[in-house]
Amino acid sequence: MKPVIFGVSGLSLTAEERAFFRDADPLGYIFFKRNCESREQMRALTEELRELSGRADLPILIDQEGGRVSRMVPPVWPAFPAGEVFGKLYDIAPISAIEAARANYHALGMMLADVGVTVDCAPLLDVVTPEVTQAIGDRAFGGEPMRVAALGQACVEGLRRGGVVGVVKHMPGHGRALVDSHLELPRVKVDASALEQDIAPFHALKGAPMGMTCHVVFEAWDAERPATLSPTVIQEVIRGRIGFDGLLMTDDIDMKALSGTPGEKATQALAAGCDVVLDCWARMDEMIEIIGLLPDATPACIERLDRAMATVGADEPDSDFSELIAKRDELLALL
């Protein structure tokens, strides 16, 4: 197994993809809108990927946060609110906000599990500043660490109840970035003491099954390299000070914040201490380059993966999707 998560080009596998993925054996896959047309189509695609890999617990990921970051969209699937909504409710009624977030992500997890998706790249634990880039914006729960941690914990628990693994992101915090890391490299210049509030929610959720890095330079920790490629940030901050021991994946290595070829960025991320590389765009030449350069997944990576996937649907009774949505909406009506 290679420590990489690849995108898929369309609604079904091409013959070229099928042959390549069978030989390459990536750790998992990630879906986007281009892969999500109907329930029947998604079930067929996830089943084919699992059959191809020979792994019943194959991680199939999606970015389904709610709001503008949603891949499964109406009219086929219902819309879900962005994180900011729960943060606003927290101002009025914290317990109600936590319950609303838990019900929301429980229902969302059920929706994903229904089509064979088992990992959701959510929630954001970024503690935002007023100047934060709009790339984060309304996706975040707010600017106070305790609130972010409480709502984030509810989301992870809700997803687990729905049969899906949550991914806390963007470690060690994207909330001070003034520019969009999809387009350029953000630099955070505050000192290490100020960054304590950024890492606080991640420390509170250090037992989360999976996490995702950010492509941000934190000058107080490593002025030369973004977090994804920094041994200092990965090993001393994320693994050390935060204490996170779940499966750690990169954000998409195609983002313009990182420089170099896909293979170079992938190998640098693994060398820095990431467990898995995320490469989203299903470009065959790039995937071939990455597979040609990556080693096999380490025993530590495989152990963390197995531990994370074992949490899916653990000891949860059947739940009613409509009742969960109604509960969420009743609580959000307090706004």
Q: What is the DSSP string of 187-213?
A: EE-S-TTTTHHHHHHHHHTTT-SEEEE
* Cα–Cα nearest to 80, from 59, 100, 96: 100
**pLDDT of 47 over the 60 cut:** yes
Question: How far separated are the first and last CA of the chain, in Å rounded?
Answer: 48
Reported confidence tier of residue 303, pLDDT bands at 50, 70, 90:
very high
Burial class, 88, CB count within 10 angstroms (exposed 0-12 / middle 13-18 / buried 19+)? middle
Reported confidence tier of residue 318, pLDDT bands at 50, 70, 90:
confident
Instruction: State how far the Cα of 45 lies from the Cα of 39, in Å rounded to an integer.
Output: 10
Residue pair 212/171 in contact by the 8 Å Cβ criterion: yes
**pLDDT of 265 over the 60 cut:** yes
**pLDDT of 315 over the 60 cut:** no
Burial class, 246, CB count within 10 angstroms (exposed 0-12 / middle 13-18 / buried 19+)? buried
**pLDDT of 103 over the 70 cut:** yes
Instruction: State how far the Cα of 52 lies from the Cα of 22, in Å rounded to an integer.
Output: 6
Instruction: State how far the Cα of 332 lies from the Cα of 88, in Å rounded to an integer.
Output: 9
Mean pLDDT, residues 171-184 taken together: 94
Q: Which among 25, 114, 182, 254 is annotated as catalytic?
A: 182
DSSP 8-state secondary structure symbol assigned to residue 139: G
Q: Which among 63, 126, 198, 251 is annotated as catalytic?
A: 251
CA distances from 10 to 26, 40, 60, 223 (A): 17, 14, 15, 39
Reported confidence tier of residue 319, pLDDT bands at 50, 70, 90:
confident
Express as a percent the part of the chain with pLDDT over 70.
99
Give the per-residue pLDDT at 314. 52
> Residue 90: helix, strand or coil by DSSP?
helix
Mean pLDDT, residues 39-66 taken together: 97
HSE at residue 63, side-chain half, CA atoms within 13 A, is: 18
What is the residue type of 66? G
Strand 217-218 to 187-188 pairing: parallel
Mean pLDDT, residues 316-333 taken together: 91
Residue pair 188/176 in contact by the 8 Å Cβ criterion: yes
Look-up of token digits 């003491």: 193
In 10 A of CB 74, how many CB atoms? 8
**pLDDT of 298 over the 80 cut:** yes
Tokens representing 163?
């049969």
pTM above 0.75, yes or no: yes
Mean pLDDT, residues 130-153 taken together: 95
Catalytic residue list contains 182: yes
Partners of 211 in the beta sheet? 168, 248
Residue pair 245/213 in contact by the 8 Å Cβ criterion: no
Give the per-residue pLDDT at 139. 96
Partners of 218 in the beta sheet? 188
**pLDDT of 317 over the 70 cut:** no
* Cα–Cα nearest to 257, from 287, 291, 229, 299: 229
Give the per-residue pLDDT at 316. 60
Mean pLDDT, residues 251-264 taken together: 94
State the DSSP H helix or E strand holding residue 109, giving kind and residue range, or none if neither. Answer: helix 94-114
Give the per-residue pLDDT at 202. 98
Mean pLDDT, residues 310-319 taken together: 72
Give the per-residue pLDDT at 312. 85
